[in-house]
Structure 1
């Protein structure tokens, strides 16, 4: 786990793996019994600035993030037959974004996943087996939640299902792609909500709140079960 995170120059306190149902496969964190955990992320660059839409001039952005070229497909989807088969089965052919990231389960543990975004849907895939874990139609997404600080977290809010909390160093590109894709597919502007404290449904009966606090050297993040 530490090797995966450090390769992206992101440091997170408290890490572990569990299965898709939230059952811990390793010793749980000391706060896990209460459904909460504490994490600290250090920014890639200490020089930050404010960006324009879709962050509405509020989101604090790193200059390296703002000037980064967007490639879209970072895992070469056409070279992975299983991924192509999943997309073809669903009738999706146009990949707007594809990359590995961290997904948080209902217990607050982290799992490595592939996020695929097409012009119709969001796919969550196991990177080791290329097995589909979840598909979400873009039309089902209500909004995106982010902090106002320089961190890697974002939540995808889906009212008819449970929500997604993920972390990626390509968050800016992901948000931009989702906003543009939703507008193209459904002709409505996807809401981007910016707050240093927001709730999300981690499971059918699990509501959590994620809190962000700017501290010396980075951003401290805490997840609490409501």
Structure 2
């Protein structure tokens, strides 16, 4: 626990704060007009442009170009999402989109990721419930590889970290930087680019993300780091 430091605490729904380990549940279809056939993982890959464990994903031009849209789901026109933000006194949306969150046990759950100039929100699109709110002041860094593998980790030392996947990970990191650029005391989230990084899925569970380029494609492995 000595990795934790005193920070402004984030708000977490009780049913989500389970040391990063979640029960296996079916992935719910989000409210957006996502369509496609096959199982849920195949639909997620097709609709979100994502690949996952053991995947092969070529580098995409979009990951190197700043053709950003910010709010991709229309938060202002969604009464439930607007209500969630208004309860926290948040109004300025820097980024919003559907992403996949990986649990400590390696399961994937669809979430709505919203970034404002004060916090990061994770909303269950099926139940319209706020699952987690992380104050930007509680975030140390965002880690990601230099490849088009979609994975990124938000590192919040006062809590367990959060591993997610989005084809817009570069825009997400820019939104986090935008949210803290005018913060008091000059605080800014660090962007760590590395093809091998760690995150705490729980207090006593550290996982390692390893990205490798093989035959012109990217392969991503997520492994449990053994105690030293």
Q: TM-score range by the shorter chain?
A: 0.7 to 0.9
| Alignment size in residue pairs | 184
Output aligned runs, 1:163-174, within 5 Å. Answer: 163-174=161-172
Cα-to-partner distance string for 1:153-200 (whole Å, 9 max, x where unaligned): 111100000001111011111011101212223422321112111110
Output aligned runs, 1:15-26, within 5 Å. Answer: none
Could you say which residue in structure 2 is the equivalent of 1:6? 46
Unaligned 5+ segments in structure 2 are 1-39
- The SS at the match of 1:64 is helix
Preserved CA contact (<8 Å) 2:68 2:171: yes
Could you say which residue in structure 1 is the equivalent of 2:96? 98
Could you say which residue in structure 1 is the equivalent of 2:223? 224
- The equivalent position to 2:83 in structure 1, one of 82, 85, 90, is 85
Could you say which residue in structure 2 is the equivalent of 1:195? 194
What is the CA RMSD across the aligned residues, in angstroms? Answer: 1.5
Cα-to-partner distance string for 1:76-126 (whole Å, 9 max, x where unaligned): 112211111111110001111100011110111111111000110000000
Q: TM-score, normalised by structure 2?
A: 0.76
Find the aligned partners of 1:225 and 1:118 in 2 and give their Cα distance.
32
Please state if 1:39 is matched with 2:32: no
Unaligned 5+ segments in structure 1 are 13-37, 46-61
Could you say which residue in structure 2 is the equivalent of 1:26? none
Q: Assess, with a 3 A threshold, how the Cα gap between structure 1 residues 40 and 76 changes in structure 2: closer, same or farther.
A: same
- The SS at the match of 1:91 is coil
- The SS at the match of 1:221 is strand
Q: TM-score, normalised by structure 1?
A: 0.77
Output aligned runs, 1:1-226, within 5 Å. Answer: 1=40, 2-12=42-52, 38-43=53-58, 62-186=60-184, 187-226=186-225
Could you say which residue in structure 2 is the equivalent of 1:52? none
